Chains A and B, each alone.
Chain A
Amino acid sequence: MSTNRVTATPRHERSLTQIKFNAEGDLLFSCSKDHIINVWYSHNGERLGTYEGNNGTVWTVDVDSESRFMVSGAADNTLRLWAVATGKCLYTWEFPTAVKRVAFKDDDSQIVCITEQRMGHQCAIRVFNINRDGDGTNQSKEPLHMFNPIGSKATVCAFTLTPNIIITGHESGKVALFNIKNGDEVDNNERAHGDVVTDLQMSKDSTYCITSSKDKSARIHDTKTLMVLKTFTTETPLNSAAIAPIKPYVLLGGGQEAMNVTTTSLRQGKFETRFWHKVFEEEVGRVKGHFGPINTIAVHPAGTAYASGGEDGFVRVHHFDESYFRAKPYGDLEIAD
């Protein structure tokens, strides 16, 4: 795969947990096991600032469409709302267990979060209204909705186009739709994956989404019917999957975690982001670079770059070169985004 120019490999102290571009794509948010959230300029990899205050692994971040508020969830059992521009923590919610996943709604009016199942506490999904008036510090303590999803615990989630419906991925490999008002499981695909669902990212228009799993595969689902549209089978457990806009590709990342010590010399920098053709389900290329498994992948909203965050603590931002856009490895077929 010819990508290009790698602008930078910003560094965290410990492995990355999630990375996210803002809507314009000029900023890249990263969170890590080193308790810190960073924001970087995506074009040159320069660090713009940090968001400090968390007291444990930051598992998840999301940013609203105006790049005004950022929300994070961490192992210190807190969900925090931050001012993107000042780095100030505006509000903190506390729970009995760690926050594993957060996501903004398209219109920025709500957030959804998943808390861990631990020490007698069930896995819980909560939805909060975000008060965008004033300086943002005036938030309601109580969730708008809260429920415990039945069956296997949820690991990832996102809002769908249908009002009050969220899509979730679970530890068992299940992908499901829940009504946030009453916690009902509206629909599910128990056998979407054979192992933990590790990531879920929506297409631009939210009509479909991609999930990755430890079962070594990634799948594209119709978010309305949960029908599996495409399957990408690799030979390594996957931690993240992303959909590239403009070009018909999906990006998959992962890797065997327990690598034999003596083999590392050969594997140096060989953990790869895999590019697959979204429609043909064929692998089209790989980009090497990381020294450990890839934990999280995000694609620039304009489709001009992508970033990967690794177990090795590095975030690599790759800018696609002209040939990437010019290449038509499968002829002149026009493929809808």
Chain B
Amino acid sequence: MPGTTLEDIDYSDIEAKYQVYYDDSFDNTLVVDGVPIIDKSKLERLLAKVAKEFSRKGIAIKPEDIFMPWDESTGKSKGFLFIDFRNVEDANLAVSALHNHPFDAKHTFKINRFTDIERFTDLDETYMEPELEEYSSREHLRAWLADPQGRDQYVTYRGEDVEVHWHGKPSQSELAHKPDWKDFLYVAWSPLGTYIATLHRQGVRLWGGPSWKPQQRFAHPLVKLIDFSPCEQYLVTWSNEPIVVPEGALQGPQYFSPDDEGNNIAVWDIKSGDLLRTFSTTNDNETPGIKKQMQWPALKWSPDDKFVARITPGQMISVHELPSMYLQGKKSLKIDGVVDFEWCPHGDKDKEDAEKDVKTAINGSGSKATTKKARENMLVYWTPEVINQPARVTLLSFPSRAILRQKNLFNVTECKLYWQNQGDFLCVKVDRHTKTKKSIFCNLEIFRVREKDYPVEVVELKDTVTDFSWEPKGERFAIVSSSDPNLGNPGPGITIKTDVSFYQLEHGKNDFKLLRTLPSRTSNAIRWSPRGRHVVLATVGSSSKSELEFWDLDFNLEDAGRREGQTSKEEWGSGIQLLGTADHYGVTDVEWDPSGRYLATSASAWTHTLENGFAIWDFRGQELTKQIQDRFKQFIWRPRPVTLLTKEQQRQIRKNLREYSRTFDEDDAAEESNVSAELIALRKRLVDEWNAWRALCKKESTDGRGQ
């Protein structure tokens, strides 16, 4: 919507709700001390100057918002004044931006909250500086994890309504929250589940905590896409409309400045709400007129939130440090021809190492010999073939910028980079062509990143590979491959025939060996359980097929054996078992819950309008609930952060599972009998009511006949 000015930005719906509360509590009233003492003739000029001073810091106030107390005996002002701000955020900002602010040569502002003044009037005069309280309330933003029943949450967006639900045993599945959010595009969880974001015309809102109160907002008008950094410290927003800063727009660290005009990507600090930097998605020297599909996320975060990188295709990767957003090392990585790159994720082990490092640094006494230093960040990029040079995949450590491993590749059409989520393995899926360029086949170049010299092993495949997926925390992967002649020219009603294959690392030989191929399917999506082991193969986006297959890769193996990393004596691939099949007509999305106990499938009205809604299955494919709802749009499980339990604690729990099981069995039995008792009572009541009514009808009709 061009022509929108910032004055149009309307948060009134949200503000209206809280305005009264803030007004009553004087939270948005500040007392400014250190103001020049004047007589009434200069009042107007002084107020205008004060208002300007605040506005320059990005806090818009008008002279009418200022109240100046007068000493009636002298006819002069008292040297302090009260300002009402639009909201508590602005008041907070004013405290931080203008406390101790030099107004002129002789006067310096001292700012206090009205509420604090009230509270501390009886206190010692030396009290000057109220503690700078963080705006975010001390709500426990991760309180949902403490659910006594160990349930997970999910959000649904249907029509105009958002609902957050608990998912558990039938009796424990209940509404957690029904917000009254209005006029937004869609909702999104932050990667660790702390916040839920809504995208409004005015910008992004974050909500969270047990109260589901607003936690932060980012004024990016007409925002369309957002992306959180992995540790939830930063947010990237994108709008197709370039940033415009109209005359008189709000200024301040949380708002765009004229320097940002024309850009359309913004990076924000989530805690403070400050804008860190903006970028443009259009590269300056891109051929005009050719609109390339924008890559999203446009900025890629290192797993520790320390760096964010951006690619200029064909030229370079620019890595910015956080939170300064300065270009790391003051220069980009110049890489001729670079097409794509990916950061290596941190595994649980890396995170533990990093924590140890921090502790060592704090204690200052870390004996280097015993503490293993955390692995440096790592990224991988690839460059295509040019006349004298083969295509090349490069593994680079960062910020040292040391090249760890390079691999040359020939006859390359395209590369795709897939990291295993613990950063143990990297698979480069290489689409290759024969010399004549007539047919395409595929190589999987697998880097074992934890081993010395980063050994690479190649799996050669004859067919085109349409999907690749690592088992989370595992040593297995699954691929969808196809030799269907229709591949590449999809049409309505055409469902591509595919094969699905599983591979596993063979420890003795250190290579990936085929476990099993499931031929002649239509599956085109692989969904591993976040806990590994279970995997669902789905046919999505097809108008005629919508099958779901639930597989277990360790069904016949001893659970513990694999976990302890022992090579099983069982026959290779014998653990694979189909647990169940199901069908969700028109399925568009398939997602596991964070615990790997449940799978949700949904048919979104954004894709088609037939039988929209969602279903939840257990890991073996039994339907637990199915809701068909008009205008159903979104189903998203609430993500969870990494568990706080150490590996050892987890092992102990698994070891003593029998003890826990006993309690849980008892709980469940009690719950079940409770539920069935309730249900039986309800049904009995319904039957009694019905039978009583029927008896009445019979009596009336016999009486009628008798007359």
Touch test A–B (CB under 8 Å): yes
Q: Is B680 an interface residue (CB 8 A)?
A: yes
Give the chain A neighbours of B628 by CB distance below 8 A: 235
Partner pick for B690 among A205, A256, A266, A279, CB 8 A cutoff: A279
Which segment of B71-79, B283-291, B314-322, B681-689 sits at the interface?
B681-689
**Is A266 in contact with B585, judged by CB distance below 8 angstroms?**
yes
A86: Cβ under 8 A from any B Cβ: no
A94 within 8 A of B: no
Q: Render B155-173 as a binary contact track against A, CB cut-off 8 A, 1 for contact.
A: 0000000000000000000
Identify A333's interface contact among B611, B629, B684, B698, CB under 8 A: B684
Instruction: Answer yes or no: A262 CB below 8 A from chain B CBs.
Output: yes
Binary per-residue interface labels of chain A (299-312) against chain B in the complex, 1 for a CB within 8 Å, 0 otherwise: 00000000000000
A335 touches B611 (CB 8 A): no
Q: Which residues of chain B are within 8 angstroms of A278 by Cβ–Cβ distance? A: 690
A183 CB to closest chain B CB (Å) equals 25
The distance in angstroms between the C-alpha atoms of A161 and B175, with both chains bound, is: 45
Report chain B residues within 8 Å CB of A229. Answer: 690, 693
B-side interface residues toward A, CB under 8 Å? 492-493, 543-546, 585-586, 608, 610-611, 613, 628-629, 680, 683-684, 686-687, 690-691, 693-695, 697-698, 701, 704
Structural contact, A263 and B690, CB atoms closer than 8 A: no
Does A337 lie at the interface of the complex (its beta carbon under 8 Å from any beta carbon of B)? yes
Q: What residues of chain A lie closer than 8 Å to B611, measured between beta carbons?
A: 235
Interface string of A219-241 (1 = CB under 8 A from B): 00010000001000001000000
At the interface, yes or no: A207 with Cβ under 8 Å from chain B?
A: yes
A/B interface sample: 27 pairs, CB < 8 A: A161-B704, A205-B698, A207-B697, A235-B613, A235-B629, A256-B610, A260-B608, A262-B544, A263-B543, A265-B544, A266-B544, A266-B545, A266-B546, A266-B585, A267-B585, A278-B690, A279-B683, A280-B683, A331-B680, A331-B683, A333-B684, A334-B687, A334-B691, A335-B687, A335-B690, A336-B690, A337-B694
- Nearest Cβ in chain A — how far from B469, in angstroms? 26
CB-CB under 8 A from A235, the residues of chain B are 611, 613, 628-629
B610's contact among A207, A263, A280, A337, by CB below 8 Å, is which?
Answer: A263
Asked if A279 and B545 make an inter-chain contact with CB atoms under 8 angstroms apart, the answer reads no
Q: Hey, which chain A residues are within 8 Å of B683, CB to CB?
A: 279-280, 330-331, 333
A263 to B543, CA, bound (A): 6
How far apart are B326's CB and chain A's nearest CB, in angstroms? 53
| Nearest-CB residue, chain B, relative to A203 | B697
C-alpha gap A266/B545 in the complex (Å): 7
**Residues of A169-211 whose CB lies within 8 A of B:** 205, 207-208
B493–A262 touching, CB < 8 Å: yes
> 1/0 per residue A263-307: CB within 8 Å of B?
101110000000000111000000000000000000000000000
What is the chain B residue whose CB lies nearest that of A337?
Answer: B694
> Would you list the 10 A-B pairs with minimal beta carbon distance, nearest first?
A336-B694, A235-B628, A207-B697, A262-B543, A333-B687, A279-B690, A336-B691, A265-B544, A262-B493, A266-B544
For A333, the closest partner residue in chain B by CB is: B687
A189 to B686, CA, bound (A): 23
Contact in complex: A260, B543 (CB < 8 Å):
yes
Complex CA distance for A319 and B687, rounded to whole angstroms = 27
CA distance A263 to B586 in the complex (A): 9
In the complex, chain B residues whose CB is within 8 Å of the CB of A267: 585
Q: Beyond the given A266-B544, A333-B684, please list 20 additional residue pairs across the A-B interface where CB-CB is below 8 A.
A: A205-B697, A205-B698, A207-B697, A208-B697, A229-B693, A256-B610, A260-B610, A262-B492, A262-B544, A263-B544, A265-B544, A266-B546, A279-B690, A331-B680, A333-B683, A333-B687, A335-B687, A336-B690, A336-B695, A337-B694
Task: Verify A279–B546 contact, CB threshold 8 A.
Answer: no
Task: Tell me whether B691 and A335 are in contact (CB under 8 A).
Answer: yes
- Which residues of chain A come closer than 8 Å to B687, judged between CB atoms? 279, 333-335
A205 to B693, CA, bound (A): 14
Kindly list chain A residues whose C-beta atoms are within 8 Å of the C-beta of B684: 333
CA of A235 to CA of B615, assembled, Å = 14
A331 to B680, CA, bound (A): 9
Is the pair A279, B686 in contact by a Cβ cutoff of 8 Å? yes
Determine the chain B residues whose CB is within 8 A of the CB of A207 once the complex forms: 697, 701
Q: Which A residues are CB-close (under 8 A) to B704?
A: 161
**Measured between alpha carbons, how far is A204 from B536 in the docked complex, in Å?**
50
In the complex, chain B residues whose CB is within 8 Å of the CB of A161? 701, 704
Most buried by A among B545, B684, B686, B698: B686
By beta carbon, the residue of chain A nearest B627 is A235
Per-residue contact bits, chain A 111-150, to B (CB 8 Å; 1 contact, 0 not): 0000000000000000000000000000000000000000
B544: chain A residues at CB < 8 Å are 262-263, 265-266
Q: Distance (Å) between the CB of B24 and the closest chain A CB? A: 41
Query: Nearest Cβ distance between residue B507 and chain A, in whole angstroms?
Result: 44
The chain B residue sitting closest to A335, CB to CB, is: B687
Complex contacts, B701 vs chain A, CB 8 Å: 161, 205, 207
Bound complex: CA of A263 vs CA of B686, how far in Å? Answer: 40
Chain A residue contacts of B694, Cβ below 8 A: 336-337
Provide the residues of chain A in CB contact with B690, threshold 8 Å. 229, 278-279, 335-336
Q: How far is the CA of A336 from the CA of B688 in the complex (A)?
A: 10
Chain A hits for B698, CB < 8 A: 205
Chain B residue at minimal CB-CB distance from A162: B704
Measured between beta carbons, the chain B residues less than 8 angstroms from A333 are 683-684, 687
Cα-based distance from A335 to B611 in the complex (angstroms): 34
Assembly CA distance A336 to B686 (angstroms): 12
Report Cα–Cα, A267/B544, bound state, in Å. 9
CB distance from B200 to the nearest CB of A (A): 31
In the complex, which of the residues A222, A262, A334, A337 has the most CB atoms of chain B within 10 Å of its own CB atom? A262
Residues of B within 8 A of A266 (CB): 543-546, 585
| Most B Cβ at <10 Å: residue of A205, A207, A267 | A207
CB distance from B183 to the nearest CB of A (A): 26
CA distance A333 to B690 in the complex (A): 11
A334 to B690, CA, bound (A): 10
Q: B543 near A280 (CB under 8 angstroms)? A: no
Supposing A205-B701, A331-B680 touch, asked if A280 and B686 sit within 8 A by C-beta, the answer is yes
Q: Which residues of B contact A335 (CB under 8 A)?
A: 687, 690-691
B697 / chain A contacts, CB cutoff of 8 Å: 205, 207-208
CB distance from B561 to the nearest CB of A (A): 42
Select the residue from A161, A278, A279 with max chain B CB neighbours within 10 A: A279
Nearest neighbor of B545 in chain A, beta-carbon distance? A266
In whole Å, how far is A98's beta carbon from the nearest beta carbon of chain B? 32
Kindly provide the distance from the CB of A209 to the nearest chain B CB, expressed in whole angstroms: 12
**A333 and B683 alpha carbons, distance in the complex (Å):** 9
When distances are taken between beta carbons in the complex, the residues of chain A under 8 Å from B686 are 279-280
Q: Output the least CB separation between B540 and chain A (Å).
A: 14
Chain B contacts for A334, CB-based, 8 A:
687, 691
Residue of A nearest to B693 (CB): A229
Whole-angstrom distance between the Cβ of A299 and the nearest chain B Cβ: 18
